[in-house]
């Protein structure tokens, strides 16, 4: 049952546009981003979107660095480990 005070508010932009606007904002304050990567589909997509944004916005020329953080819990499937290594 939905509570009456939980009203969904729709934005005037899609998720991709909102993601790019958020990166614009973040890059105006920080010059080093650390992206957490688990090897799953969601973090894989996030990493790819950050990579595309990095290339299209000349972060290298602006001196913005990106690092990837991955913590191996030693419980992943071999296929996931292979994907992470690529």
Listed by start position, the domains of the chain span 15-85
At residue 26, the pLDDT reads: 93
Phi, psi at residue 28, to the nearest 5°? -80, -15
- SS3 assignment, position 62: helix
At residue 61, the pLDDT reads: 84
How far does Cα 62 stand from its chain's mean position? 19
At residue 19, the pLDDT reads: 92
Rounded to 10°, the helix 41-56/15-27 angle is: 60
pTM of the model: 0.72
Full pLDDT tens readout for the chain, 86 residues: 566 677 667 778 898 999 999 999 999 999 999 999 888 889 899 999 999 999 888 888 888 999 999 877 777 778 877 877 77
């Amino acid at each position: 049952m939905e509570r009456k005070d939980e009203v969904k508010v729709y934005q005037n932009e899609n998720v991709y546009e909102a993601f790019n606007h958020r990166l614009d904002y973040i890059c105006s304050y920080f010059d080093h981003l650390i992206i957490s990567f688990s090897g799953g589909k969601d973090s894989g997509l996030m990493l790819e979107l950050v990579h595309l944004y990095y290339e299209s916005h000349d972060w290298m020329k602006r001196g913005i660095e990106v690092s990837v953080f991955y913590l191996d819990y030693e419980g992943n499937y071999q296929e996931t480990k292979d994907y992470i290594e690529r």
